[in-house]
Amino acid sequence: MSHDWICSKEWKTPSDTGDARQILDEILTNLGENGWGEEHTFGIHLAVEEALMNAIKHGNQRNPEKFVTVEFHFNAKILQIVIEDEGDGFNPNDVPDPTLEENLELPSGRGLMLMKTFMTTVEYNEKGNRVFMEKDLDAPPPEDDDDDDDDDEYL
């Protein structure tokens, strides 16, 4: 699928959280300057920050000799971000569901859940060291798994 991107950038950075935050700030600035409002950038911020920190901390084990690559493209309606580390990868299906009662106190899984919540698409390569995330403003909102419609009466 061809897109007329407003902006396309790529970074290759050492496994340093400070550098990652600068990349995140640049992404958010670009989006904000091109009409992406806070109602969208809030979730994008959380998802991209989580993916970057996972690549640095878990993927590259904070090894300064290993790099994280970030690809960033967007237009008025679609944002695509690819984040790849040089680590061994992981199987996202092996990460426990943080919403299940037996996993509530486990330290893992919440970040992946946030990424899936705020992005339209989150996909990993087979190795598990590269994540593709897309936010499509025209996509329908995610389905609410809660069949109880009574929640709205308290808003």
Q: Average the pLDDT over 103-129 and give the result.
A: 84
25-58 per-position pLDDT tens digit: 999 999 999 999 999 999 999 999 999 999 999 9
- pLDDT (0 to 100) of residue 151: 47
Residue 33 · residue 76 · CB < 8 Å: no
Q: What is the mean pLDDT of the chain?
A: 87
Q: Look at residue 100 in the predicted model and tell me its pLDDT.
A: 61
pLDDT of residue 142: 66
Give the pLDDT confidence score for residue 60 in this predicted structure. Answer: 98
Q: Please determine, for residue 73, whether its predicted confidence score (pLDDT) is greater than 80.
A: yes
To which H or E segment does residue 133 belong?
strand 130-136
Q: Which of 61-70, 88-97, 142-151 has the lowest mean pLDDT?
A: 142-151
Looking at residue 111, what is its pLDDT? 78
Go through 43-77 and write b for each residue having 16 or more CB atoms within 10 A of its CB, e for each that does not: bbbbbbbbbbbbbbebbbeeeeebbbebebbbeee
Spatial contact of 133 and 119, defined as CB atoms under 8 Å apart: yes
Q: Would you say residue 17 has pLDDT above 60?
A: yes
Which domains are assigned to the chain? Answer: 7-140 (3.30.565.10)
Alpha-carbon distance of 91 to 126, in angstroms, equals: 8
